[in-house]
Amino acid sequence: MDASATISELLLDWYRTHARRLPWRAPPGENAPEPYRVWLSEVMLQQTTVAAVIPYFEKFTSRWPTIEALAAAPEEEVMAAWAGLGYYSRARNLVKCARAVAELGAFPETEEGLRALPGLGAYTAAAVAAIAFGQRAVVVDANVERVVARLFAIDDPLPGARKEIREKADLVTLDRDAGDFAQAMMDLGATICTARDPRCLLCPLANACMGRMQGDPARLPVKAAKKAKPERIGTAYWIERAGKVWLVTRPGEGMLGGMRALPDDGWHARADGSGEAPVPGHWRDAGAVRHTFTHFHLTLKLKVLKGMEMDGEGEWWPLARLGDAGLPTLFAKVARLAVT
């Protein structure tokens, strides 16, 4: 047995005992879970923790138990149910993909076929191919990236190292047990080979790990220095009348696209918060919230106006049911500031 086969077998043996029990998974060695559940979980897990995803996954699969049910759902309902998970383009692509699969009649079973679906990049297509269909695929998420970089002591900085990391991951990927192997790599990175303080004494691959042999596996993978995020300033407007607040739906493309929100001054397009209020009036300053997006920090000030009549594109939403509006996290923060 060659070294790569030894690594793979050791990892699978460990996984059979230590696999995480997650609502979208099948236990090691059992029949693969439904492709719909695998795909939905992988989309939700992009840049989001398992703990945050579990309640959303359970809510979605209870409300839309099949890909056909999700495909038939109004997009605004899906967006509202997604609120709080962030990266809202994923939710828009979720609906597009569900409708494409429903039209096809089933998920494609190959990595190439899956890549052709809306919103499925290389990682998601590989993960669904391996986990749902047992296809050999090189599945590299952030956890796998870390495991492989340490296992082979790849010390070129990211993102340049990703080509070599993928090549080494391909080297140890098995032709069989594709789903279990992919999830074993993910679990090892999530629970043992963690970003900080890796638990090498518990690692099934410790004796084969070149990073450990070099004495400091935690330094890998090497990451390029982060650039400071720019600061933006904006204003949100709380317009209240007769126990209701005026909400708008953001444009389908762009920041928080397609989501219900408070009117604002265009902070997503301006760095200085220089926009104007939606209507003239005696606006009251009501504080500010701070929120961090992928590429910038935002300070969003809140102004309040009560008793104003409104018309045009928007809706009066009952304050008593504001939690059902599906406001994205930023505007949920602002709403809490307004009602306290």
Decide: residue 241, CB within 10 A, 0-12 exposed, 13-18 middle, 19+ buried.
middle
Length of the chain: 340
* Nearest C-alpha neighbor of 39 from the set 100, 86, 80: 100
Active site residue 42: yes
pLDDT for residue 268 is more than 70:
no
More confident residue, 272 or 60: 60
Question: Who wins on pLDDT, 44 or 47?
Answer: 44
Q: Is 283 exposed, middle or buried (0-12, 13-18, 19+ CB in 10 A)?
A: middle
Model pLDDT, residue 4: 66
According to the model, what pLDDT value does residue 276 have? Answer: 81
Half-sphere exposure of 8 (CA within 13 A, CB side): 20
pLDDT value of residue 272: 61
**pLDDT at position 306 over 70:** yes
Whether pLDDT at 3 is above 80: no
From 9, 34, 42, 276, the catalytic residue? 42
State both tokens at 129. 């191919």
**What is the rounded CA–CA span in Å between residue 323 and residue 86?**
16
Tokens representing residue 326 in the block: 């599906």
What average pLDDT score do residues 17-24 get? Answer: 97
**Confidence check: pLDDT of 270 > 80:** no
Q: Which is more confident, 311 or 323?
A: 323
Residue 232: strand pairing partners: 298
- In this prediction, residue 1 has a pLDDT band, given cuts at 50, 70 and 90, of very low
pLDDT at 2: 64
What was the pLDDT predicted at 69? 98
Could you tell me how far CA 148 lies from the centroid of its own chain?
Answer: 22
Residue range 216-239: mean pLDDT, rounded: 93
The CATH number of domain 231-339 is 3.90.79.10: yes
Considering the chain, what percentage of its residues have pLDDT values greater than 90? 84
Sketch the domain layout of the chain as residue ranges: 3-219, 231-339
Rounded Cα–Cα distance for residues 306 and 220 (Å): 55
Tell me what the mean pLDDT of segment 124-131 comes to. 98
| 3-class SS letters over the chain | CCHHHHHHHHHHHHHHHHCCCCCCCCCCCCCCCCHHHHHHHHHHHCCCCHHHHHHHHHHHHHHCCCHHHHHHCCHHHHHHHHCCCCCCHHHHHHHHHHHHHHHHCCCCCCHHHHHCCCCCCHHHHHHHHHHHHCCCCCCCCHHHHHHHHHHCCCCCCECCCHHHHHHHHHHHCCCCCHHHHHHHHHHHHHHCCCCCCCCHHHCCCHHHCHHHHCCCHHHCCCECCCCCCCEEEEEEEEEEECCEEEEEECCCCCCCCCCEECCECCCCCCCCCCCCCCCCCCCEEEEEEEEECCCCEEEEEEEEEECCCCCCCCEEEEHHHHHHCCCCHHHHHHHHHHHC
- 72 pLDDT tier (thresholds 50, 70, 90): very high
pLDDT for position 273: 56
To the nearest 10°, the Cα dihedral for 19, 25, 27, 28? -70
* Average pLDDT over every residue of 89-113: 96
pLDDT score of 258: 87
**Is the confidence at residue 186, as pLDDT, over 60?**
yes
Instruction: Write down the pTM of the prediction.
Output: 0.85
Identity of the highest mean pLDDT range in 81-90, 183-192, 256-265: 183-192
- Could you tell me which of 44, 59, 98, 51 has the C-alpha nearest to residue 75? 98
Q: Mean pLDDT over all residues of the chain?
A: 93
Looking at domain 3-219, its CATH superfamily turns out to be: Hypothetical protein; domain 2 (1.10.340.30)
The pLDDT value recorded for residue 59 is: 97
